[in-house]
């Protein structure tokens, strides 16, 4: 049991920021994201004995978090679409989104990602920002791997078009 606690603690330290970043996309605000992350890690800890040691913990915790988000919001009758648009500030001070998407090179790329339709936005964030494998993304959002690949391909094409339009408009 002590070994499980130590391993879980290691996973928590390693993945808490990644899980928070995705939670922020789900909720659109800091407090709700923190609550969602906390609930996900509590549930993961409770069922950690069911976690298969040779599998991807990040994928497992993100799936738990996504399921909690959907379930809780459906119960409250205020289910929001996953990955709602988040306003990005162009000011000199960092906005929440800028702080949370530190792996994306520019504000314009971030804006373009947030403007994508949700089904493409979700797979791009999970693959290109969070670095998850296609199989893990498929498990998290409960779609076939082929659908992940096609959404990722189409999403990247849309992202490229949005960025090219922005460059050509300037």
**What is the per-residue pLDDT across 107-149, written as a single tens digit (0 to 9) for each?**
677 778 878 898 898 899 899 888 899 999 999 999 999 999 9
pLDDT given for residue 101 in this prediction: 45
Q: Provide the CATH number for the domain formed by 1-82 in this structure.
A: 1.10.1740.10
Listed by start position, the domains of the chain span 1-82, 92-170
pLDDT tens string 48-106: 988 888 888 999 999 999 889 888 877 776 545 554 444 433 444 444 444 444 433 45
pTM: 0.66
The predicted pLDDT at position 77 comes to 66
Q: Is the domain defined by 92-170 classed in CATH 3.10.20.30? A: no
Contact call for residues 124 and 155 (beta carbons, < 8 A): yes
Degrees (nearest 5) of the Cα angle 150, 57, 4?
170
């Amino acid at each position: 049991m002590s070994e499980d606690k130590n391993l879980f603690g290691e996973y928590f330290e390693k993945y808490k920021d990644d899980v928070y970043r995705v939670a922020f996309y789900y909720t659109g605000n800091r407090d709700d994201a923190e609550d969602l992350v906390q609930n996900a890690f509590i549930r993961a800890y409770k069922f950690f004995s069911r976690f298969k040691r040779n599998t991807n913990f990040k994928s497992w915790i993100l799936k738990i978090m996504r399921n909690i988000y959907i379930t809780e919001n459906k119960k409250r009758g205020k289910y929001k679409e996953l990955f709602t648009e988040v306003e990005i500030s162009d000011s000199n001070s960092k906005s929440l989104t800028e702080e949370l998407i530190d792996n994306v090179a520019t504000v314009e790329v971030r804006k373009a990602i947030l403007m994508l339709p949700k089904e493409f936005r979700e797979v791009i964030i999970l693959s290109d920002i969070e670095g998850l494998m296609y199989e893990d993304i498929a498990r998290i959002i409960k779609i076939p791997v082929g659908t992940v690949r096609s959404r990722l391909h189409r999403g990247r094409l849309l992202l490229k078009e949005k960025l090219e339009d922005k460059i050509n408009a300037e």
